[in-house]
Amino acid sequence: MENSLQYVLLGTLCLCAVPASFMDSLWSTKSHEWKKLILTHHWPVTVCKMAKSECDKIPNYWTLHGLWTDKSQMCNNSWHFDYSEIKDILADMNKWWPDVLHPNGSQLWKHEWQKHGTCAASLPCLNTQHKYFSKGLELYTHVNLNSALEKAGIKPANMYKMEEIKNAILNVYGAMAKIQCLPPQQGEDAQVLGQIEICFTKDFILVDCTEELEDELTEQMSMKWRKSYQDLHVCDKSINIYYPPVQEL
């Protein structure tokens, strides 16, 4: 792992011991327990392709989909998203964590907070909406997936093998990512690169992502958002992966 990344990870650590009283009040059932945080990036071109949407001014870089917990969702239904809590970070949210399908909207952020943020909030360092979204942005910036892929020669408008992308990320972060694709459509001979997940422990230490969680997470997503993401699966190692450029939309 690069020295710069080691420094970054030390900088993201925070004291996350969870007080028993805090856990008892909001996360009293085992169904809300979780072990990993998943920093999920999606490729805007593929997001628009799956939604069959004409996206305007689509970013030409990987953007944040969310900061997820690995085993729980919707942990506190009464804790609603409050737009005013993130006003001071809106510029960064709109740039790095945009709602690609609904520009200048907050539907994605509301969804991510209600589904995942209310569970991640069991950590004191993520226990407000401002902390949660700020930490997502911090991890996104420090991980810098866009730069890592480019340095490894993984660039849009090209075909790759699954292992090429996986190893490029492994060589930078020292941990295995989950690579997800849109399966080949009729008449196509390649799957389309769509989403990359990078995992952390509760102490924000990089750790291997595991593929067996995919079905559980997908099944738990709301029907509204499943409509956009239902075709994403862990990429097939035996099929070429196409990394589509923005110009194709």
Q: Within a domain: residue 162?
A: yes
Q: Within a domain: residue 153?
A: yes
Cα gap 231→236, rounded to integer Å: 13
What does the pLDDT read at residue 5? 56
**DSSP characters for 130-188?**
HHHHHHHHHHHHHH-HHHHHHHTT--TTEEE-HHHHHHHHHHHHSSPPEEEEEPPPTT-
- Looking at residues 211-224, what average pLDDT do you find? 45
pTM of the predicted model as reported, rounded to 2 decimal places: 0.84
Q: Within a domain: residue 26?
A: no
Under a CB-based contact definition with an 8 Å cutoff, are residues 218 and 230 in contact? Answer: yes
Segment 22-77, tens digit of pLDDT? 444 444 455 678 999 999 999 999 999 998 877 888 999 999 999 999 988 999 99
Number of domains in the chain: 1
What does the pLDDT read at residue 9? 52
Per the listing, tokens 């730069």 go with 147
Per the listing, tokens 């945080």 go with 37
C-alpha closest to that of 15 among 113, 124, 135, 99: 124
φ/ψ region of 174 (left if φ > 0, alpha if ψ in -120 to 50, else beta) reads left
Give the CATH number, domain containing residue 85: 3.90.730.10
Q: Within a domain: residue 24?
A: no
Query: Which residues are the active-site residues?
Result: 65, 112, 116
- What tokens appear for 104 in the block? 């200048």
Q: Within a domain: residue 25?
A: no
Segment 155-176, tens digit of pLDDT? 999 999 999 999 999 999 999 9
Q: Within a domain: residue 74?
A: yes
- How far, CA to CA in Å, does 41 sit from each of 173, 180, 249? 15, 10, 19
Rg value, the chain, Cα: 18
Longest dimension (CA), the chain: 57
Q: 3-state DSSP call for residue 97?
A: coil
Q: Within a domain: residue 20?
A: no
| pLDDT higher than threshold 50 for residue 180 | yes
The H or E element containing residue 69 is strand 63-69
What does the pLDDT read at residue 27? 46
Q: Who's near 101: CB < 8 A, 6+ residues apart?
A: 47, 48, 51, 53, 55, 108, 228
Phi, psi (5° rounding) for residue 221?
Answer: -65, 150
- What tokens appear for 211 in the block? 């593929």
The rounded Cα 83 to chain-centroid distance in angstroms is 20
- What tokens appear for 171 in the block? 């060589």
Under a CB-based contact definition with an 8 Å cutoff, are residues 46 and 8 in contact? Answer: no
What does the pLDDT read at residue 213? 46
- For residue 84, give the amino acid letter: S
Q: Within a domain: residue 27?
A: no
Which domain does 121 fall in, by range?
3-10+34-248
